[in-house]
Amino acid sequence: MRRIILKPGEQFTNSHLKRTGAFNAAALTAATAIVEGVRERGDEALRAYTEQFDGVRVEDFRVSQAAIAEAIVNVNDKTAAALRQAAVQIRDFHERQKQQSWFTVREDGALVGSKVEPLESVGIYVPGGRALYPSSVLMNALPAAVAGVKRIVCVTPPTADGTLDPAILEACRISGVTEIYAVGGAQAIAALAYGTESIAPVAKITGPGNAYVAAAKKVVSGDVGIDMIAGPSEVCVVADSTADPALVAIDLMAQAEHDPLAACYLVTFDAEYADEVERMVERHLQTSTRAEITAASLADQGLIVVCDSMPQAIEAVNVIAPEHLELHVDHAFDLLGAIRNAGAIFLGAWTPEAVGDYAAGPNHTLPTGGTARYASPLSVDEFVKKSSVIQYSSQALVRDADMVMTIARHEGLWAHAMSVEMRKNLLATGNVYGMEAGGREGGDGAGRAGSGNADA
């Protein structure tokens, strides 16, 4: 792992990082071409791209109920039970995020409020490739179901024989997914966004994927909603002398094993302690089933920051703005208020990041690449939309009329001002043009509305 030793008072800055972003120019170019291909040729393009990238020819992308029922029988009983238990805790957490429509009435009779409505449809992307992720089904589909979304569509790459992992299908059943399609990559994102002969479009797409999936989500964003553009996974572990180096090492490796591009940061206070963590990594690698990926991630993307003090360490964390932050320190909860930027925060020695990935309840779809500076974890809020509701009484209109007309005239918006003035006239005189206008169209109100040029 690369190492930086900060001097007393020295600040950790973005220049110390080597982030590459969620995707590169080549991925964006390729994803754009794939998206356009699917828009133009529909299922024909989906089949061609699936054969090209996944090595399998799929004739019918939708997974039938019979195929689902047959597959889930093959799910290991222990795995199925674990998925069901995790789903209970994930659902419980997200139920607490639900918002209700609300309305309030002012003394003058004006009613204002917010109407909360679930999206009509969502598409969730579940990655394939180096690993299979039934947990991603739970984390994306359950918040959508809690929000009240009626149509929840899952897309995920097929395996070499054209089928899907039975555990993913079981997770879909548990989570309330209504449609499942064996298609992945940028082509799946395009199908969800624009539709094909066999896949109807959705209102929003959520879920992580590789660089081409991330690039495709950027391409379709605006035509369809997206949750975020997720880059490689990352973890930052802050460890003081109370932290067991063997546990810190395995927690770094738990993120590194995802992807050679996964970024792992160790923020600590002693160079010798950092050496011991690295020795523990080497020891664990001897028995790892994903040693090659893990070693590549730590060698190429790993960073150790040795700090002089806890305040210096916390400021480094806030610059990194990690997807996952583990505080392996004494009295970890006391530091929570100082953390400004992190997707998920894991407090204390008994809280490995893995519990957040699978069981704790909070969502594991998190902002990456420093976007925790402004972005939040996936939540029920991603699957609803809100409409403002306004109903004025005549008394409320009179009260606010001068304020509205003054601002409208300042902005040069004649009809804005007149739409209020005419109602005010009607209330005062029984005539929309006022006493002096006497029914004459335009009235002298027109002359008082201002003559500035308006940009509608």
- Is residue 246 within a helix (H) or strand (E), and if so which, with residue range? helix 245-256
Known binding residue 411? Answer is yes
Cα separation, 384 vs 293, in Å, equals: 38
pLDDT at 70: 87
In CATH, the architecture of 2-18+232-361 is 3-Layer(aba) Sandwich (3.40)
Distance CA 449, CA 169 (A): 63
pLDDT along the chain (456 residues), means of 10: 96 88 84 97 96 93 91 92 97 97 96 98 89 92 98 94 91 96 97 98 96 95 95 95 98 95 96 98 97 96 97 98 97 97 98 96 96 96 98 97 98 98 95 68 41 38
Measured from the Cβ of residue 299, the count of other Cβ atoms closer than 10 Å reads 12
Note the pLDDT of residue 435: 73
Cα(417)–Cα(396) distance, rounded to whole angstroms?
Answer: 16
187 is in an annotated binding site: yes
Residue 359 and residue 353: Cα distance in Å, rounded?
A: 10
Tokens of 28: 């964006």
Helix (H) or strand (E) holding 279: helix 271-285
Q: From the centroid of its chain, how far is CA 286? A: 35
- pLDDT for 229 equals 92
Q: Give one DSSP letter per residue of 21-57, joined into a string.
A: -S--HHHHHHHHHHHHHHHHHTHHHHHHHHHHHHS--
The pLDDT of residue 451: 37
Q: Is the pTM of this model over 0.85?
A: yes
What does residue 12 show for φ and ψ, rounded to 5 degrees?
-80, 135
206 phi and psi angles, rounded to 5 deg: -130, 165
What is the pLDDT, as a whole number, of residue 455? 41
Catalytic residues: 323-324
Task: Using DSSP bridges, classify how beta strands 111-118 and 384-391 pair: parallel, antiparallel or unpaired.
Answer: antiparallel
Check the annotation: does 255 bind a ligand: yes
**For residues 34 and 97, what is the distance between their CA atoms, to the nearest angstrom?**
36
Whole-number Å distance between alpha carbons of 351 and 367: 20
Name residue 100's amino acid. Q
pLDDT score at 456: 35
The answer to whether 328 touches 239, Cβ cutoff 8 Å, is yes
Structure tokens at 177: 């997914």
Given a contact cutoff of 8 angstroms between Cβ atoms, the answer to whether 267 and 317 are in contact is: yes
Tell me what pLDDT residue 250 has: 98
- Helix, strand, or coil (residue 345): strand
Residue 436: per-residue pLDDT: 57
Query: Count of H helices and E strands in the chain?
Result: 17, 14
- For residue range 135-147, list pLDDT tens digits in order: 999 999 999 999 9
Is there a binding annotation on residue 410? Answer: no
pLDDT for position 446: 40
The CATH class that applies to domain 25-229 reads alpha beta
357 known ligand binder:
yes
Least Cα distance to 240 among 326, 337, 316 occurs for: 326
Task: Enumerate the domain spans of the chain.
Answer: 2-18+232-361, 25-229, 393-429
Q: Do domains 2-18+232-361 and 25-229 have the same CATH topology?
A: yes
Neighbouring residues of 58: CB distance < 8 A, sequence distance ≥ 6:
46, 47, 50, 51, 158, 162, 182, 183
